[in-house]
Chain A
Amino acid sequence: MALALIEGRRGLAVGAALLALGLVLPFLPGVYVVFAIDLLCFALVAVAFDMLLGFTGLLSFGHALFWGGSGYLATIAIAHGVTSFPLAVLCGVTYAAVLSLAVGALAVRRSGIYFAMITLAIGQIQYFLAFQLVDFTGGENGLQVQTRGTFFGFPLDNDHVYYFLVLAIVAAATALAVRIVTSPFGAVLAAMRENENRAKSVGYDTDRFKLAAFVMSGTMAGLAGALFSIGNRLSGLDGVDWHTSGAIVIMTILGGIGTIYGPIVGAAVYESLDFFVSKTAIGDKTNIVMGLVFAVVILVARRGIVGEILHRLFARPPIVEEEEAADVELASAS
């Protein structure tokens, strides 16, 4: 059921509709282009995160490692004279890929709650490195650059131009994510999530599959982070803070675990809500509202916004108990 949204013709139609929405988004009344750029980047990181959480059941509390770390590398490259946008992005993405391989190799040794705590703790190492390597990162001030660079000679400092480039990249990456989770590889992940021992007994090296999924997810999160930092011409400690890892978790679950397109909705709702709440008397303490919304989702709507809709539309009569059916979605890997 989780794949009902992305498979076959229906999947193509939903994807096309989302893309159409993306094409008109910056022209809608009241939408700032810069906000729309941020939104696309968060949507992509949530999709990347869902590839991991939704399809392996591994809960990473350290995706700011790849998002923020890649953002730093991309802006550092530009600050050091790289003018090619693709090259700057490649710097960030390469860092994210290598880092996710190292972190993943370590973290998949433990599962469940340990996995979450370990990724969270490793995230702190990068945070303090970014804090202390002032010469590279600007420390608490962050690292600001003057330009987004050029795309094969074409300047990107116009916000609309940059928006559509990001839209194209995010659309392509999302299509790749859909391809991955619907592939035979994705089927193995699903089998592992449902019953890891059985997957092992038919000969799959489950740790390697988990690691592969982690690296794919981390690399794609890095891509999103590089696009975000270059878009804002800034990378700062916010990006590598564990609260950002938490925000990515919230966006994904809010939208709907294991639905790929759901987290896009989750990111949009999260960012919009955050924006509007910050305009009220609460100011920057938006987490009061975000935390409440997330708590309610955890208590009564664990399928997330899109997951609940899909459930209403496509759920077959339950074979197992209703409660159990809701919970296999995030089955513990152990």
Chain B
Amino acid sequence: MSPEYLITQIFNGLVNGGFYALLALGLSIIFGMLRIVNFAHGAMYMLGAFVAYYGALAFHMPFFVALIVAPIVIGLFGLLLETTLLRRLYEIDPLYNLLFTFAAVLIIEDAMRLAAGALGSPYETPALLAGATNLGFTQYPTYRLFVIVVCIVVCAAVYFIVERSPLGARIRAATEKPELTRAFGINTSRLVSGVFACGVALAGFAGVLAAPNTNVTPTMGDAIIINTFAIVVIGGLGSILGSVVAGFALGVIAAVGAVLYPPIANTLIFVVMVLVILFKPTGLFGTTERTA
């Protein structure tokens, strides 16, 4: 195996890892704030890709516009879901939230299969990012480089907002001590809705980003959500840094593992998860067992 090939695979791993990181990040901020695991996160990712696809089909919406419009659409959809239905389940066992969002997955996926057919549709790579870039040692698709850079920038921005900004301080306060935060006159229920909307908007954003990279299909969220679950178990659910690091790391590990031993390509992430549970049950970046 040539070193060029291995490095190309590492880049491919970073692309996949970028998607994992974006999704795990959304899952984590939602879990941190709402104490729920959003099973429908993969479905939101898929819907984001479809907004881009139908936008292009009906209105010739360019990719870069879709990158802004789709997250807004998905965020509003999430807001509607949270304020009308999910909210009713906060007071009870968090498992019911997982089950409710699981029901949402079933409905959304099969509704999209009914509307769009089970087969995928290709989405054109924007002309600006078509072709390949010379990295010195090898040619690499420009679009994929763009994905890596965008994922890193977005993850860093979210990290900065949550950990360093005044808004993030309120979010973290509402996460730690909701009653006390309310006593300071901060509307925590609006924060909760906002965080959920932003979390699913991130998934929608990832979906648009994935559209030129893969076929847009109703089941595209299916496989990736379970990989993402494994990644948040590895990174420690609720840990932003853990989600992002585990996302990129597992993307690369899976890609390199697939080169060294191809049959393990699909299962390596889960095998790593098993090992992490054996040796550090709280996840790599998790400190305590969060009640869930």
Residues of A near any B CB (own CB < 8 A): 59, 106-107, 109-114, 116-118, 120-122, 124-125, 128-129, 131-132, 242, 246, 249, 253, 282, 285-288, 290-292, 294-295, 298-299, 302, 323, 326-327, 330-332, 334
Contact = CB atoms under 8 A, between A and B. Distances in A.
A297 B164 CA distance: 41
Contact of A106 (B91, B94, B277, B291): B277
Contact of A122 (B88, B111, B270, B292): B270
B292 A114 contact: yes
A59 B230 contact: no
Of B269, B270, B271, chain A has the most CB atoms within 10 Å of the CB of: B270
Interface residues of B, number: 44
A242 B222 CA distance: 10
A288 B111 contact: yes
B160 interface: no
Interface string B79-99: 000000100110111111011
B209 interface: no
A294 B100 CA distance: 8
5 contacts: A121-B226, A121-B273, A125-B271, A253-B99, A299-B88
Given A106-B274, A110-B289, A121-B270, A298 B233 contact: no
B274 A298 contact: no
A298 B103 contact: yes
Of B88, B105, B111, B277, chain A has the most CB atoms within 10 Å of the CB of: B277
B281 interface: yes
A285 B113 contact: yes
Contacts, number: 133
SS of B interface (majority): helix
A112 B292 contact: yes
A163 B93 CA distance: 39
Nearest to A292: B107
Given A114-B233, A287-B107, A288-B110, A125 B267 contact: yes
A110 B91 CA distance: 22
A106 B278 contact: yes
A59 B97 CA distance: 12
Interface string B229-267: 110110001000000000000000000000000010011
Contact of B109 (A117, A282, A287, A294): A287
B104 interface: yes
Given A288-B114, A299-B88, 10 more contacts: A109-B277, A111-B289, A113-B237, A114-B233, A131-B266, A132-B263, A285-B111, A285-B113, A327-B92, A327-B93
B102 interface: yes
B226 A124 contact: yes
Given A124-B270, A287-B110, A288-B111, A331 B104 contact: no
A282 B270 CA distance: 34
Contacts of B92: 302, 323, 326-327
